[in-house]
Amino acid sequence: MMKRIPLLALAMLAMLGCQSSQDIRKDAQAFIDQYTAKFQQLYYAASKAEWQSNTMIIEGDSTNAIATRKANEALAAFTGSKENIKTIQAFLKSKNRLTPLQVRQLEAMLYIAANNPQTVPQLVKDRIKAETEQTEKLFGFDFKIDGRSVTPNEIDQILQTETSLEKRLKTWTASKEVGKALKEGLVKLRDLRNKTVQALNYPDYFTYQVSEYGMTTHEMLALTQQLIREIWSLYRELHTYARYELAKRYGVKQVPDYLPAHWLPNRWGQDWNAIISAEGLDLDGVLGNKTAEWIVKQGERFYISLGFPPLPRTFWEHSSLYPLPKDAPYKKNTHASAWHLDLDKDVRSLMSVIPNASWYETVHHELGHVYYFIAYSRPQVPILLRSGANRAFHEAIGSLMGLAAMQKSFLAYLNLLPEDDQTDEIKALLKEALNYVVFIPWAAGVMTEFEKRLYADNLSPERFNRTWWELKKKYQGIIPPEPRDETYCDAASKTHINNDAAQYYDYALSFVLLFQFHDYIARNILKQDPHATNYYGSKAVGKFLEHIMAPGATRDWRELLREVLGEDMSARAMVNYFAPLQEYLKEVNRGRQYTLPETI
């Protein structure tokens, strides 16, 4: 019966011109309802297959990969079917006679269709197969140091704590070997992704992804460049500080002009806060006495204190929250993520939580996504519009809650820090800046520019690594520890380049939004200093968050932002938050050589 619906709808649409607006709305709703039921069924099946592929990676066993590919092909065949595309397009020609909610759902259908258009069925099949294979290679890769297998968590731990530059170099180099194995697949995926969306008249995959914001590629790049310019003077101070402080730590007398990548405590140089792990606000010692289970449960307790419900029983039964035992006969994706499998009640998280400050913050972030899912999973929000107001909103909420959970007043309230703790406030602010501010040139600059060139400019594979390191130097002031030719593909070592492509600007925009949200909560709801807030137990904060999350994608994101904040997207709140730190760093860096330009 369902397979005949699009054809019946097409026949019906032939009479649209002579129908009343009421009849057209009725017919459109019937089509939307029937499409939604089938979409949810196929989406759930594909999500469960993807979950299995991410949580049980068995070397040499293609069972999960085959099941995932088949489920994704079935979803793609439906969402991208010629009949559905024609029906959607025909209804949208009469969009002025439909309700705004109907138009939003039809536009969402057409956007989904462009990712899997069955006007080019073989391309879609080839792409799904290639994406499944790339994911398995990425998360099934055996990282080795001196011939010994190591986990990503172990690599991260070494880069955060080791002071021997020789050991750091070995570890950093090992972390990039996966890129070699992924380069060929990335080239193939770039071509397949571009060709699939071109079938529905998008010029390239990057432009397609940006369009979900209602923006052009030019407009998005103008926005990301604006964000970098707005925080650049502070980033320049942080870069200078890091060069001198790390040279001192590693016993290097000649301070380098640019930061060698293996000096930094993160594989990609996207987060430097572990540089001051032994200073300022250090939670690792306290949390090391807790269990991983306590970390996750404490995250849930925080949300409950704001007025949100306990996580559903199925969340605990089906999530994969902790590292696998060392002798496990399979591997899993170690990148933290939140999943809304059926776009309704089945919410889960995939993590590898261990009791430390990084995972404590990550838990609060990921549960932010989960509670966002829960907030808009209600009858007033159609299945097709159960997402953030834009993609950055989802990340903003997660990151906001991570920030809130790390503030000193919050931690003292939970007895994770004594109330009379003598933590240096500037050092605590510095630790935050080495996370949030340092991230902007990486996300809005390196990742966004690389993927724009990859997809929109069809970057040659012979220039992948060269371009990557040119962008790293320009936007982050980071250079490779030794020459790296085109046998390497260091960009592909980043998860998102492979399986969450052309969307990384989401994270940069989300950080700007999170500081706007935080500033509003601190000043207008809690009446507290933005540097010393305690959200815990505030039902008013919970209601504010609910106002943002509950509409899902039923509202225009710009309109919603103006409604809740009274302003447009801006880095104003972020710059103001770190203003005291910038003055401090100017004094610390007095007499030191700045190597980044004053403006970018």
Res 9 pLDDT > 70: no
How many whole angstroms from its chain centre is CA 548?
18
Question: What would the pLDDT profile of 445-460 be if each residue is shown by its tens digit?
Answer: 999 999 999 999 999 9
Q: What is the DSSP letter of 594?
A: P
Res 5 pLDDT > 50: no
Q: How confident is the model at residue 213 (pLDDT cuts 50, 70, 90)?
A: very high
Res 532 pLDDT > 60: yes
Mean pLDDT of 255-279: 91
Q: Spell out a b/e string for 503-526, using b for 16 or more CB atoms within 10 Å of the CB, else e.
A: bbbbbbbbbbbbbbbbbbbbeeeb
Q: So where are the chain's domains?
A: 1-119, 219-588
Is the distance from CB of 199 to CB of 120 less than 8 angstroms? yes
Res 1 pLDDT > 50: no
**278 burial level (CB within 10 Å; 0-12, 13-18, 19+):** exposed
Residue % of the chain over a pLDDT of 90 = 86
Q: How confident is the model at residue 15 (pLDDT cuts 50, 70, 90)?
A: low
The fold of the 219-588 domain, in CATH, is Neurolysin; domain 3 (1.10.1370)
**Which amino acid makes up residue 234?**
L
How does DSSP assign 268-333, residue by residue?
TSS--GGGGTTSSS--HHHHTTS-HHHHHHHHHHHHHHTTPPPPPHHHHHH-B-SPPPTT-SSB--
C-alpha neighbours within 13 Å on the C-beta side of residue 451:
32
Category of 201 on φ-ψ map: left (φ > 0), alpha (ψ -120 to 50) or beta: left
Res 276 pLDDT > 90: no
Instruction: Give the number of other CB atoms < 10 A from CB of residue 92.
Output: 16
Mean pLDDT of 24-47: 97
pLDDT, residue 277, reads 62
R_g of the chain computed on alpha carbons: 24
Mean pLDDT of 470-490: 98
pLDDT, residue 16, reads 58
Res 115 pLDDT > 50: yes
Mean pLDDT of 554-578: 94
Question: What would the pLDDT profile of 415-436 be if each residue is shown by its tens digit?
Answer: 998 776 667 889 889 998 999 9
**Which amino acid makes up residue 473?**
K
Mean pLDDT of 98-103: 97
pLDDT, residue 14, reads 54
Q: How far apart (Å, rounded) are the C-alpha atoms in residues 340 and 483? A: 42
pLDDT, residue 425, reads 85
Question: Which spans in 501-578 are helix H?
Answer: 505-520, 539-549, 557-565, 572-577
How does DSSP assign 373-398, residue by residue?
HHHH-STTS-GGG-S-SSHHHHHHHH
